[in-house]
Chains A and B, each alone.
Chain A
Amino acid sequence: MRNSEQIKFKINKEEVSIKVDSNTLLSDCIRHHLLKTGTHVGCEHGACGACTVILEGDAVRSCLILAKQVDGCELTTVEGLSKNGKLSNLQLMFKKHHALQCGFCTPGMLTTAHALLSQEPGASYERIKEVISGNICRCTGYINIIDAVYEARDYYR
Chain B
Amino acid sequence: MNSKDKYIGHYTERIEDDSLLVGLSTFVDDVHLDHMLYAFVLRSSVAHGYIKEIKTDKAKTFPGVHAIYTGFDIAVEFNHQMPTIPIRLAPIEELKQFKQPIIAHEIVRYVGEPLAIIIADSLEKAQDASEAIEVDIEARPVVNNWRSSAENLSILHPQIKSNIGTIYHAKKGQINQNTSQYFQRKEVFKVHRHTAVTLETRGLVANWDEDLEKMTVYGATKVPFFNRACLGETLQISPKKIDMIEVAVGGGFGVRGEFYPEDFLVPYSSKKLKRPIKWIEDRTENLLGTNHSREVECEMEITCEANGKIVSLVANICVDAGAYARTSVTTVPRNSAQFSSGPYDIPNIDITSTVYLTNKCPIGSYRAPGRFECDFFRERMFDLISIDLGIDRVDFRRMNLVKFNQMPYPLARIDNPDRYEELDCGNYQTTFDRCLKEFNWEEKSLLQGQKIDGKYHGIAIGCFIEGGGAGVKETAKIEVNEDGKLNVYVGSANLGQGIVTVMTQIAAEELDVSMSDIQIFHGSTTYLEEGFGSYHSRATIMGGSAVLIVAKALKEKIKEVAASYFQCSPQEIDLLPGLISSFKNQTLDLSKLGRDTLFVAGEFPCKTNTYAYGCAAAHVSVDEDTGKVELIDYFTIEDIGRIINPLTAKGQAIGAVVQGLGGVFLENLTYDDQCQLTVGSLADYLLPTATDFPIIRAMELEEHPSQLNPLGVKGAGEGGIIPVAGLMANAVSNALSSKGVQVTELPLSPQAVWKLMQ
Report A's interface with B, CB cutoff 8 A.
Answer: 31, 35-45, 47-48, 50, 77-79, 81-82, 85, 87, 91, 94-96, 98, 100-107, 110, 129-130, 132-146
Contacts and interface: CB of A to CB of B under 8 A. Distances in A.
B689 interface: yes
Contact of A101 (B24, B29, B651, B683): B651
B684 to A, nearest CB: 9
B2 interface: no
B199 A42 contact: yes
Given A101-B655, A142-B694, A41 B682 contact: no
A43 B198 contact: no
Which of B17, B200, B650, B659 gathers most chain A CB within 10 Å?
B17
Given A103-B16, A104-B27, A141-B657, A82 B22 contact: yes
B283 A40 contact: no
B251 A102 contact: yes
Contact of A41 (B16, B29, B683): B29
B448 to A, nearest CB: 26
Contacts of B29: 31, 37, 41
Contact of A138 (B20, B30, B248, B659): B659
B18 interface: yes
B681 A35 contact: no
A111 to B, nearest CB: 10
A78 B496 CA distance: 19
Interface in B493-541: 495-498
A77 B23 CA distance: 9
A91 B283 CA distance: 28
11 contacts: A37-B27, A45-B283, A87-B21, A87-B22, A98-B648, A102-B251, A104-B198, A138-B197, A139-B251, A140-B651, A141-B696
Interface in B213-250: 248-250
B26 interface: yes
Which of A36, A106, A110 gathers most chain B CB within 10 Å?
A106
Interface string B3-20: 000000000011011101
A140 B495 CA distance: 13
A48 B26 CA distance: 20
B686 to A, nearest CB: 9
Contacts of A105: 199
B247 to A, nearest CB: 11
Given A43-B682, A48-B682, A139 B496 contact: yes
Contacts of B682: 42-43, 45, 47-48, 136
A5 to B, nearest CB: 17
Given A137-B199, A138-B251, A101 B21 contact: no
B696 A104 contact: no
A2 B196 CA distance: 37
Given A37-B26, A42-B199, A43-B681, A104 B690 contact: no
B651 A78 contact: no
A139 B657 CA distance: 10
Interface in B462-495: 495
B21 A141 contact: no
A78 B24 CA distance: 9
Contacts of B683: 45, 47
B696 A94 contact: no
B141 to A, nearest CB: 34
> Lowest 7 A-B CB distances belong to which pairs?
A38-B23, A102-B496, A104-B250, A103-B20, A141-B658, A78-B23, A37-B30
Given A41-B29, A102-B250, A141 B693 contact: yes
B718 to A, nearest CB: 13
A91 B30 CA distance: 21
Interface string B673-706: 0000000011100011111111010000000000
Which of B23, B30, B497, B651 gathers most chain A CB within 10 Å?
B23
